[in-house]
Structure 1
Amino acid sequence: MKQTKREQRLTLSVDNLTSDGEGVARRNRDVYFVPGALPGEDVEVILDGRRRKVWQTRLLNILQSSPERVEPQCPHYQRCGGCDLQHLNYAGQVAFKQERVAREFSRQKLDVEQWAAPITSEPFHYRRKARLGVRFSKERGENFVGFREAASAHITNIDRCPVLPDLPALDWAYWREQIAQLQSRSVITQIEAIVGDNAMALVFRVLKPLPSADQNQLIASAKAVESGLPLQLWLKTDKDAPAQRIWPEDAEPLQHHSDELALTIQPDDFVQVNGAVNQAMVQQALDWLAPAGSEVIWDLFAGHGNFSMPLAKRSQQVFAVEGDERMVSSLSLQAEKLALPLQAIRADLDGSGGLQPLPDPDAVLLDPPRAGAAGIIKELTERRVPRILYVSCDAATLARDLSTLTEAGYRIRQAGIMDMFPQTHHVETMVLLENKVKRHG
């Protein structure tokens, strides 16, 4: 990256936002990215460097403020890298995310027959799963507990996170003090919080097993802040092995509800972090897909059954497909416990033909990771699946995959965003596609 003069300052007018929520300003042929700035603002920045004709900057002063600007609620906002849009009012955040998805669709020349209203929830205290870093500094003789700083590997101390539930057990200043009393305080690397509907868990990730005295101290600390929602304490010593609960000895599994079904979740399971948005998202998926009792339904990238189990309430032939054998076992146990007619299948979802043994589906639900579902799109188009419901956490890879599907004869009947992560630039999208070409037979 080309070096600039030290503390070179510039006054800019911001006219747009990047997909990551950074302000965009233009002067002559150069483009400037300004984190923390909003469209319509005049700002003073410090130039950090340039790659080609794009400058990275640091916001120094806001000379003319946007009417959509608000004061961030979190005292850690300036340093923490977790939330990057707290300076934009919530209506503005939702509008930005809608525009961002529409822009990605436009780049791929995608036509949407009907846009649904955005699914939203409370803008704070929504997040039911989060992982905080823990680091012991020998130089300073203290532990840091918090999130990574923006554009940095450093951990900034967090006392309270306003996007997490307001529970006594999620007081990170308290846990920082408790960890400081442990003999093995230098081996704790992370704390993961999982808030279920019936209980919550704190998972301490450690480099090596904690001595019994330290475990007992952590248990005593947990008991002291357990209030309202039952608390569980877990340890994870091996990244490839499941976490182990150390307290209480007998506790019911963590659960969250999807379509009024109590789904069991393990601390290592992926779970949608926003409970209210997830409930509305599942209901919208069921409404749009409208599965019939005799239809064959595939749920690809099924996870722990967030969509599969509700689908199995409505269809007798649901195939929940996962690449992880542990998740397949979990799906089978879940379906058995709930007495649902669901078949859990292990198959590679990379386009290598792992789905060939399955019967032709009448409908497919896709909820892939950020990289998208390019590997299996060809098989879906070859089978002329009548209906596809695509749930995505990345607008760019979604638009790419939708372009392939529309070129193969699909039309986009409905689309809508879901604000799973208020205060951040991240956005989820749901799309319903129908095949214009009828399947023979």
Structure 2
Amino acid sequence: MTKQAITIKKGQQFPLTIKRLGINGEGVGYFKKQVVFVPGALPGEEVVVEATNIHPKYAEAKIKKIRKRSPYRVTPRCPVYEQCGGCQLQHLDYEAQLREKRDIVIQALERHCRLPVETLSIRPTIGMDDPWHYRNKSQFQVGIKKGTVIAGLYGLNSHQLIDISECLIQHPATNRVTNIVKMILQDLRIPIYNERTQTGVVRTIVARVGFHTGDVQLVLITATKDIPRKQLLVDEIKRRLPEVKSIVQNINGRKTSLIFGEETELLEGEEYIQEVLGDLSFELSARAFFQLNPVQTVKLYDEVKKAAALTGTEKVVDAYCGVGTIGLWLAKDAREVRGMDVIPEAIEDAKKNAKKHGFANTMYTTGKAETLLPKWVKEGWKPDVIIVDPPRTGCDRALLQTILRVQPKTVVYVSCNPSSLARDIDVLSESYHVDYIQPVDMFPHTAHVESVARLVLKIRA
């Protein structure tokens, strides 16, 4: 049967009943069997919309009127919620957000996996006790508005900088540091970078806080190596922000959407700040990747530990290991943990972290799992459990085929993208039974949802 062509016209207004939330947090409805995505609309609502964009397989629309409101619609707490676009779901009650995130996982499985969804155990989403002020790091672009230094995010689908003085999902310490640094830049008349003319110096203020220690690291991203009145700037930051233990400059002179450049220089204080997860402590340098929600990360890693179900005798592989956080979380319950990553600096950090915590049963190697695993198996070392925590694109196809060949008893898949999780489960289901999928809400008020999937090797008859 051929797909019906889109007949909706741009600017057309029509009634719509919203059936569910899409993967980006927008409402999804059907008009004459055609899919329509409506940002800000909620499941169960009856709305009148206006078509804004027409695509070959779907249309986008905006709300003109809500005829029937969802009982779970709430007033967003953030004053710039609608302009900013950093959160997508502040207008939805938090408990309802958790239910909808589980449904986003179900939708991805229906779309990208051949397994019947009704046969899978998809557990209720694990939420936060307090779903506000959970982010430990902010990256706010700097600009000038009516002669005043502002810092924030670019507006939804625009290049207009929205000044954000009190972000409700950021830790209060990062908000405070960003606001005071804006004032210092203003007071000292330090040139702010202008993207259009490519002039000026300071581009971005990055603030990261250790939830456990309260220590703050401040990174100023600049377009040039030279900062006018640099020492005065550093002295003023130290005087007005004693909690800042590390002041770093990163130079990025390129015309790019990437925040960080290649060159980093310590201006004052320590090179690292400390963060603690459970019994483990980590040193965080300016460019080190670390989970953005430390409180919920403990819950996520505990779910990984439950899914791995280690007894002390297992050989574990931590693929995409980064600085080793997940592997070290499991190390005391494993016989041996071997981790790999393609980033050499991450592997060096993983080795340091393992040594610092006294783990003698870990080994970290630079490289790809699909290359290293067959080599280890050939040498007589076969893993019992493989943990994968891939980027949003999912596992490398070669790694999935390697897992199917090596056949560890258990695969624990940590996912930040339900669509790639569903696609990869579809491949692995050739040899693995999906025991369960546990969604975890790492980013309240956004459409993102993480999951931990436990896959168990099928017993061949």
Q: How much does 1:432 deviate?
A: 0.8
Q: Comparing 165-174 with 55-64, which one deviates more in the overlay? A: 165-174
Quote how far apart the aligned CAs of 1:212 are: 5.9
Q: TM-score of the superposition, structure 1-length normalised?
A: 0.89
Shift, 1:3, TM fit: 13
Query: CA 1:33/1:314 → structure 2, altered by over 3 Å: closer, same or farther?
Result: same
Where do 1:29-68 residues align within 5 Å?
A: 29-52=33-56, 54-68=58-72
- 2:289 aligns with 270
Q: Which residue in the other structure is 1:189 paired with?
A: 203
Aligned letter for 1:369?
Answer: P
Answer yes or no: is the 8 Å Cα contact 1:3–1:49 preserved in 2: no
- The equivalences for 1:200-215 within 5 A come to 200-211=216-227, 213-215=229-231
Map of 1:325 onto structure 2: 344
2:157 pairs with one of 130, 151, 154:
151
The Cα offsets for residues 357-385 of structure 1, whole Å up to 9 and x where unpaired, read as: 33211111110100111330111110111
Does structure 1 conserve the Cα–Cα contact (< 8 Å) formed by 2:432 and 2:457? Answer: yes
Distance verdict in 2 for CA 1:260–1:116, change over 3 Å: farther
Q: Name the CA distance, whole Å, in 2 between partners of 1:222 and 1:69.
A: 44
Find the counterpart in structure 2 of residue 335 from structure 1: 354
- Using the TM superposition, give the Cα deviation of residue 7 of structure 1 relative to its aligned residue in structure 2, in angstroms: 5.7
What's the CA shift for 1:242?
5.9
Query: Shift of the alpha carbon at 1:155?
Result: 1.9
Q: Match of 2:114?
A: 109
Alignment of 1:102-251 (within 5 A): 102-107=106-111, 108-110=113-115, 114-121=121-128, 122-136=130-144, 141-167=147-173, 170=176, 172-180=178-186, 181-186=188-193, 187-196=201-210, 197-198=212-213, 199-211=215-227, 213-221=229-237, 223-226=239-242, 230-238=244-252, 239=260, 241=262, 243-248=264-269, 251=270
1:78 counterpart SS class = helix
Tell me if structure 1 keeps the 8 A contact 2:184–2:236: no
From 404, 407, 414, the equivalent of 1:384 is 407
Structure 1 residue 40 displacement after superposition: 2.1
1:401 aligns with 2:407: no
How many correspondences in the alignment? 428
- TM-aligned CA distance change 1:106 to 1:25, over 3 Å: closer
Q: 2:329 — aligned with what?
A: 310
Q: Taking structure 1 as reference, are residues 103 and 168 closer, same or farther at Cα in structure 2, changes over 3 Å only?
A: closer
User: Is the Cα contact below 8 Å between 2:178 and 2:205 reproduced in 1?
Assistant: no
Paired with 2:53 and 2:228, the residues of 1 have a C-alpha distance of 51
Q: Distance in 2 between matches of 1:154 and 1:236?
A: 24
- Seen in structure 2, the aligned counterparts of structure 1 residues 53 and 283 have a Cα distance that, compared at 3 Å, is closer
Gaps of 5+ in 2: 1-5, 194-200, 253-259
CA contact (8 A) 2:136 2:208 kept: yes
Question: Deviation string for 1:117-157 (max 9, x for gaps)?
Answer: 422212111111232222357xx545431012112233211
Tell me, in whole angstroms, the C-alpha distance in 1 between the residues paired with 2:19 and 2:455.
34
Shift in alpha-carbon separation, 1:168–1:290, aligned structure 2, 3 A: closer
Q: Residue by residue, what CA displacement relative to the aligned partner does 1:218-261 show, whole Å, maximum 9, x if unpaired?
A: 541353144xx55432211154536333232xx38322223411
Question: 1:324: Cα distance to partner?
Answer: 0.6
Percent of pairs with identical residues: 26
Distance 1:437 1:282 in 2: 28
1:293 and 2:312 matched: yes
- Give the structure 2 partner of residue 412 of structure 1: 434
SS of 1:147's equivalent in the other structure is strand
Which amino acid counterpart does residue 355 of structure 1 have in structure 2?
A: L
Matched with 2:3 is none
Question: Secondary structure, in 3 states, of the residue corresponding to 1:357?
Answer: helix
Q: Deviations over 1:152-191 (max 9, x none)?
A: 2332111110001123753644433332333332222222
* Counterpart position of 2:385: 363
Partner Cα separation in structure 1 for residue 332 and residue 244 of structure 2: 30
Q: Deviations over 1:66-111 (max 9, x none)?
A: 1100000000101002001101110111101101112222331336
Counterpart amino acid of residue 328 in structure 1: I
What is residue 300 of structure 2 aligned with on the other side?
281
> Cα deviation per residue 1:345-367 (whole Å; 9 max; x = unaligned)?
11125x4x243333211111110
Q: Distance in 2 between matches of 1:259 and 1:177?
A: 36
| In 1, Cα distance between equivalents of 2:177 and 2:285 | 23
2:48·2:66 contact (CA, 8 Å) conserved in 1?
Answer: yes
Q: Secondary structure at the match of 2:302?
A: helix
**CA–CA distance in 1 between the matches of 2:434 and 2:159?**
41
Work out whether residues 146 and 172 of structure 1, in 8 Å CA contact, stay in contact via their aligned partners in 2. no
Give the match's secondary structure for 1:83.
coil
